[in-house]
Amino acid sequence: MPKAQETILEIDLNALKHNVTFIKSKLKSNTKFLAVVKAFAYGSDALEIAKFLKNINVDYFAVAYTDEGVALRDAGIETPILVLHPQPQNFKIIIERCLEPSIYSKRVLNDFIAVAEEQKQSNYPIHLKFNTGLNRLGFAETEVKSILNSLETTKAIKIKSLFSHLAASDDKNEKEFTINQIESFKRITQKVLNTLGYQPILHQSNTSGILNYPEAHFDMVRCGIGLYGFGNNIEINKSLKPIATLKTTISQIHSLKIGDSLGYNRAFIATKKTKTATLPIGHADGLNRLFGNGNGFVFVNGEKASIIGNVCMDMIMVNVTDIVCKEGDEVIVFGPKHSAENLAESINSISYELLSSVSQRVKRVFRR
């Protein structure tokens, strides 16, 4: 790719294909693959990512909210789409756009049945989510009988899948907890299946679950962060390729004398002769203010340069005193050679947060 002349997020679709192939290699041939493309596909570009994944035969997509699913439909995606956290006021839109809601409480179930009946639906696909320990969303095991009773009163809906979510599948110290979650899910689903009379899809594994708990693959797996190049494990990361590279360029270089200050509130005071570079990227582009004052860093001509002073809305300044560089040179914020995980760790954060924070005003450039 040409050197960056502005702030861009370069997205490598070949790396995306590599990641899908690697993760699928861990599955049985008949295990379905759900790609999680919520939050603009973890900060990349949900529409382009989904179009690409559709062409390499993923079975399902998942988004967090209804509007995200609508955007995929508007882009021509016809693959089934699971909405993980639907809001009742959007149920009519969900039905109109053939989206499939996660139903996680009795209130939500009753509300969706009412809308589905009003819209004269028959066997509309829903996904029942059960809480097995994450304690975020989901029915309790004790509600199984009540759920089944509600389903017997209507022909408007039909269970497409039963699912749950692992809380600590990336943490070896929590193996016992994760095994208990898996066993709990098996027990709950068996109770449902004993009465239901047909076989919905069963799924529980996220990326770490796919990699660490093959016994929890069931009929389908849900892959999120793994698609984008991270496996929550140093060894696994060696087999994955980060798809996103955040690049920018040097706008101007300054030479500071001892005692000169830099940026808002004079947060940096030079204690020696210092050369700084100003870059056109700031907290409005997704670089948290916590990266300022020496916490974060970028790479200028392959050399690590600390972010100094406060992060501005549209700019940062970095220390390039010992780096050979000039105005117009390309700068890498994160990418395959300079991990987003490492940068995120500098402010006690995680790759998920850094990736999904990249602003939509940052231009996306696709490498195929």
- Tell me whether residue 264 is one of the annotated catalytic residues: yes
The active-site residue, picked from 24, 38, 160, 247, is: 38
The 3-state secondary structure of the chain, one letter per residue: CCCCCCCEEEEEHHHHHHHHHHHHCCCCCCCEEEEECHHHHHHCCHHHHHHHHHCCCCCEEEECCHHHHHHHHHCCCCCCEEECCCCHHHHHHHHHCCCEEEECCHHHHHHHHHHHHHCCCCCEEEEEEECCCCCCCCECHHHHHHHHHHHHCCCCEEEEEEECCCCCCCCHHHHHHHHHHHHHHHHHHHHHHHHHCCCCEEECCCHHHHHHCHHHCCCEEEECHHHHCCCCCHHHHCCCCCCEEEEEECCEEEEECCCCEECHHHCEECCCCEEEEEECCCHHHCCCHHHCCCCCEEEECCEEEEEECCCCCCCEEEECCCCCCCCCCEEEEECCCCCHHHHHHCCCCCHHHHHHCCCCCCEEEEEC
- Tell me whether residue 38 is one of the annotated catalytic residues: yes
The active-site residue, picked from 92, 155, 172, 264, is: 264
Catalytic center residues: 38, 264
